[in-house]
Amino acid sequence: MTNPVLKRALKTWGEQPQMLMVVEEMAELTKEILKNISRGKDNISAIVEETADVEIMLEQLKENYKIADAVAEYKANKIKLIEQRLNDWDNK
C-alpha cells in the first residue's frame, strides 16, 4: 500500500474490524447501485461516495493480506481474457 494514512488506519483500528468494514462498504455500494437500477433513483453522488469508500477499503484489504501484487497480476490477466472475449464477440 502506498498510502500511509490507510496503512495507519489498518494498524490503529485493527485488521478484523477493518475487514468487516470492507464488507460493510461493499454492501452500501451494492444498495446504491440497486436503488439506481431498480427504482430509477438519481443517486449518482451516493454511488460516487460509496465507490470511493470501497476503493479505500480494498486498499486496506490488499495490505492486510499482503496480496496487492497478486491482485494486480490476476487483474491484468483477467483484462486480457475480457479483451479476447470481446474480440471473439466482435468476430461472430
DSSP 92: -
What's the CA gap between 42 and 8, in Å, rounded? 35
Mind listing the pLDDT tens digit for each residue in 22-45?
999 999 999 999 999 999 889 999
pTM: predicted TM-score of the whole model, two decimal places: 0.90
C-alpha cell at 79: 483484462
Q: Which pLDDT does position 17 carry in this prediction?
A: 97
**DSSP states of 9-30:** HHHHH-HHHHHHHHHHHHHHHH
C-alpha cell at 16: 478484523
- Give pLDDT, residue 12: 97
Are the CB atoms for 49 and 31 separated by under 8 Å?
no
Question: What is residue 48's three-state secondary structure?
Answer: helix
pLDDT of residue 22: 98
Q: Name the stretches of the chain with pLDDT < 50.
A: none
